């Protein structure tokens, strides 16, 4: 989801400022049962499905001048 807004300065009509906000996320999954390991007794990975979600937030400003 992203949102942007533009401000125009009335006193200086050629100047402006854009503001942007964003929210997103990424989900990663790993099926340990489909991985072939060299040492089957290594407990680093389990045979179960593992899933993680990573949220991400962004913001930005952009100042511009029209000639």
CB distance 23 to 57 below 8 Å:
yes
Length of the chain: 67
Identify any residues that bridge with 57 across adjacent strands, giving them in sequence order.
23
CB distance 64 to 15 below 8 Å:
yes
Q: In which domain, by residue range, is 46 found?
A: 2-65
Q: Cα 66 vs. chain centroid, distance in angstroms?
A: 31
Instruction: Map residue 56 onto helix, strand or coil.
Output: strand
Does pTM top 0.85 for this prediction? no
**Per-residue model confidence (pLDDT) at position 1:** 92
Closest listed residue to residue 16, CA positions, set 50, 53, 57, 62: 62
| Residue 50 vs residue 25, higher pLDDT | 25
**Per-residue model confidence (pLDDT) at position 41:** 79
Please tell me the total count of domains within the chain: 1
Q: Percent of the chain having pLDDT more than 90?
A: 48
What would the pLDDT profile of 36-62 be if each residue is shown by its tens digit? 878 877 777 777 788 999 999 999 999
């Amino acid at each position: 989801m992203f949102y942007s807004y533009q401000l125009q300065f009335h006193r200086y009509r050629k100047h402006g400022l854009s503001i942007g906000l964003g929210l997103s996320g990424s989900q990663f999954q790993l099926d340990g049962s489909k991985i072939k390991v060299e040492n089957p007794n290594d407990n680093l990975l389990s045979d179960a499905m593992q899933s993680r979600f990573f949220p991400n937030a962004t913001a930005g400003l952009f100042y511009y001048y029209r000639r």
